[in-house]
């Protein structure tokens, strides 16, 4: 490979790198510690996830018993993970067969023979599995919501057993973000029990299979609840949000107000069609997070699998509701355990301190190399400057985020980037002392130092990969910068400086190695 071709490669890389770097403030993404943002720790209420699974199990048991014509007096929850089933003695055997076949995570803990009550509970393995799944699903749902919210480079990961760490760089509306993240968004449809007066139900006259939920009426500013309207609903939801495939904001032509249009998948559309056909004349309550948003009357059978959620929304509220519905509901409620806002002034101080430290490090390294290795030292200084350009360009190209630990990685690379040249220059010196010609000394110096350079940098690169794989956000930022820096320093220290030597010595422009 001749020197002209080598210089062509270097010049092209420099031009491409400058394209990806400038303007610097738009091309390089900054982490939470540099540009400010939100640091939130969520606690997932895993007990609620277990309770929700228990409720779902009750509903499924009722359906299967009815389908198998097994008569039962009641099926109800007892505590956090127990179920009581009251049924005639003649049906106990058939009930056991269904439970053993379809519900292996339920174990029978006893049988009240006097009242013919089967006592069941979740196994400990099932409780643990449900809790772990709730946290993992919550992480995925939160990530989907934040992605649709438009935050770049968020950090979302599990912390401990039941907590989620969230870092949102550059967020400028923390209250809206918190509301978006924390909304459970469990969508359910319940038939309104028209036979019970809500006022009577509030006085205690509530059937066993009914529940009371409220519609909240806000003032004009949407900040204060001025009224709560009670509804008596059938406790079993006829349809849930698990069948939802899309949600979007529409404007009502009648009232010129935004509402949320939802669409179900094929199975949900079929269920919705059957529900509306069987309940014409009744009201269907749309419930989100245990609040009734609306309860329209079913005037006719509705096919097509589409419905509307109205509630005097503002446009922003309608958009956020559509986001959480599209992203899916949280499997359990979450609570804000820690919420800190990092100001951009802290990031500016960090950047200034990091830049100052990097500049001092670069200047000291340059002075040492120029004084100790003379002309050859200037070659390594040029390679060092190119190294910085290539690192910043690579981070911009791959969308890597620069963090405060990343700046520390840059400073570390300053020393490491000239380390390879130090090894090469010392080898060249040894060859010159043995009486080799400048060209032979240079070729031999690079060849003999190559294995040592590769060994040292590959082992460091392996350590950086491990840090990236198992580290948290700041550690990953350091690992990314270190990895890119190692690759860039290998290229500049070996390819760039060797190109300079070839251009000057092999072309007879210098006859003596000034090193």
Report helix, strand or coil for 348: helix
C-beta atoms surrounding 326 within 10 Å: 17
For 266-331, the DSSP string reads: HHHHHHHHHHHHHTTTSBEEEEETTEEEE--B--S---SSEEEE-SS--HHHHHHHHHHHHH---S
Residue 314 contacts residue 176 (beta carbons within 8 Å): no
Of 341, 372, 401, the last residue of a domain is: 341
In a domain? residue 82: yes
Which value, in Å, is the radius of gyration of the alpha carbons in the chain?
A: 34
13 and 96 together in one domain: no
> Which residue in this structure is represented by tokens 């007892």?
78
Query: In terms of domains, do 336 and 372 share one?
Result: no
Cβ-contact 318, 259 below 8 angstroms: yes
Residues 293, 188: one domain?
yes
Residues 369 and 331 in one domain: no
Dihedral sign from CA coordinates of 190, 67, 263, 305: negative
Encode the chain (515 residues) as per-residue pLDDT tens digits: 677 888 899 899 999 888 888 776 556 777 776 777 888 899 999 988 888 888 888 888 888 888 888 888 888 888 777 889 988 888 888 888 888 888 888 888 888 877 788 889 888 888 898 899 889 888 888 888 887 776 666 778 888 889 998 888 877 777 878 887 877 777 889 999 988 888 878 877 777 778 999 988 877 766 678 888 999 999 888 888 878 888 888 888 877 888 888 888 888 898 899 999 999 999 999 888 888 888 888 888 888 888 888 877 788 888 888 887 777 777 788 888 988 877 665 556 766 777 787 788 788 888 988 899 888 888 888 988 898 889 888 888 877 777 777 777 777 777 777 888 888 999 988 988 888 888 888 888 898 888 888 888 899 899 988 988 877 666 777 788 888 888 998 899 889 998 888 887 766 655 676 77
Residue 157 structure tokens? 């990961």
Domain, as residue range, for 496: 3-36+344-506
- Residue from 414, 427, 419 nearest 459 by CA: 419
Domain count, the chain: 3
> Do the beta carbons of residue 13 and residue 98 sit within 8 Å?
no
Any domain includes 170 = no
69 is a domain residue: yes
Dist. CA 191–CA 295, nearest whole Å: 9
Transcribe 389-410 into DSSP letters. HHHHHHHHHTTPEE-HHHHHHH
Is 513 a member of any domain?
A: no
């Amino acid at each position: 490979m001749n020197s002209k071709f080598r210089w062509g490669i270097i010049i092209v890389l420099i031009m491409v790198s400058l394209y990806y770097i400038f303007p610097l403030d738009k091309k390089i993404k900054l982490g939470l510690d540099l540009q400010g943002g939100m640091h939130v720790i969520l606690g997932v209420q895993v007990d609620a996830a277990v309770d929700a699974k228990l409720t779902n199990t009750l509903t499924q048991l009722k359906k299967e018993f009815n389908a198998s014509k097994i008569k039962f007096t009641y099926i109800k929850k007892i505590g956090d993970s127990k179920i009581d089933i009251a049924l005639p003695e003649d049906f106990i055997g058939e009930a056991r067969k269904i439970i053993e076949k379809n519900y292996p995570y339920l174990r029978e803990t006893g049988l009240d023979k006097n009242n013919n009550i089967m006592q069941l509970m979740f196994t400990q393995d099932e409780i643990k599995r449900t809790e772990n799944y709730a946290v993992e699903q919550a992480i995925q749902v939160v990530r989907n919501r934040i992605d649709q919210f438009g935050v770049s480079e968020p950090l979302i990961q599990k912390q401990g057993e039941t907590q989620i760490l969230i870092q949102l760089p550059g967020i400028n509306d923390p209250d809206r973000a918190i509301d978006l993240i924390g909304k459970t968004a469990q969508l359910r449809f319940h038939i309104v029990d028209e036979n019970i007066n809500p006022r009577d139900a509030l006085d205690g006259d509530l059937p066993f299979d009914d529940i009371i939920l409220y519609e909240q009426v806000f003032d004009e500013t949407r900040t204060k609840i001025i009224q709560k309207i009670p509804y008596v609903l059938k406790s079993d939801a006829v349809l849930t949000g698990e069948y939802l495939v899309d949600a979007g904001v529409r404007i009502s032509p009648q009232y010129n107000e935004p509402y949320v249009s939802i669409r179900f998948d094929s199975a949900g559309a079929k269920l919705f069609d059957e529900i509306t056909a069987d309940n014409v004349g009744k009201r269907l309550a749309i419930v989100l997070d245990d609040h009734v948003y609306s309860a329209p009357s079913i005037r006719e059978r509705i096919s097509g699998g589409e419905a509307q959620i109205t509630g005097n929304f503002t446009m922003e509220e309608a958009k956020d509701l559509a986001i959480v519905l599209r992203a899916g509901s949280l499997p359990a409620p979450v609570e804000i355990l820690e919420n800190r806002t990092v100001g951009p002034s802290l990031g500016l101080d960090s950047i200034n301190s990091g830049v100052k430290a990097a500049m001092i490090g670069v200047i000291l390294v340059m002075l040492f190399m120029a004084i100790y290795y003379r002309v050859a030292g200037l070659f390594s200084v040029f390679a060092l400057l190119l190294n910085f350009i290539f690192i910043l360009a690579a981070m911009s190209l791959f969308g890597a985020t620069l963090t405060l630990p990343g700046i520390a990685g840059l400073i570390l690379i300053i020393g490491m980037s000239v380390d390879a040249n130090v090894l090469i220059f010392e080898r060249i010196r040894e060859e010159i002392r043995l009486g080799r010609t400048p060209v032979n000394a240079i070729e031999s110096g690079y060849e003999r130092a190559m294995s040592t350079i590769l060994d040292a940098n590959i082992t460091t690169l392996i350590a950086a990969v491990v840090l990236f794989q198992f580290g948290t956000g700041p550690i990953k930022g350091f690992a990314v910068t270190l990895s890119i820096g190692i690759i860039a320093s290998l290229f500049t220290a070996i390819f760039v400086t060797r190109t300079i030597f070839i251009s000057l010595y092999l072309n007879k422009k210098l006859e003596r190695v000034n090193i």
